Amino acid sequence: MTMEKQQFCCAAAAARATKQLTLLDGFQVGIINLDAILREVVELNLTDVETIKKELLDRVKSHNYVASSAEYDYSVAPFREYRRQFEKSK
């Protein structure tokens, strides 16, 4: 992973870097650095869906707490956002 753990100067800066995602059960969660995570993964030019989900999850976990029981949801929700933002531009 190339992304280093970002340090925020204040709570407001951390809040600006947090994006809301909806998990499969409809629960809303905030993901720190989601935009940067998505950009990094798209730059890897991966084609396999499961590999993309794994990269997204690994990077999300490096900046956010993810319970092991929620890992599937935290791989699917960022992947949906990844597809929404980047598949239309391909």
Residues 64-86, mean pLDDT to the nearest whole number: 94
pLDDT value of position 13? 57
**Residues 10-65: tens digit of each pLDDT:** 555 555 678 999 999 999 999 999 999 999 999 999 999 999 999 999 999 998 99
Confidence grade of residue 8 (pLDDT, cut at 50, 70, 90) = low
Confidence grade of residue 5 (pLDDT, cut at 50, 70, 90) = low
Q: In sequence order, what DSSP letters do the residues of 56-89 get, joined into one string?
A: HHHHHHHHS---GGGHHHHHHHHHHHHHHHHGGG
Query: Where do the structural domains in the chain lie, given as residue ranges?
Result: 11-89
pLDDT value of position 36? 93
CA atoms of 30 and 51, how far apart (whole Å):
23
Predicted model pTM: 0.80
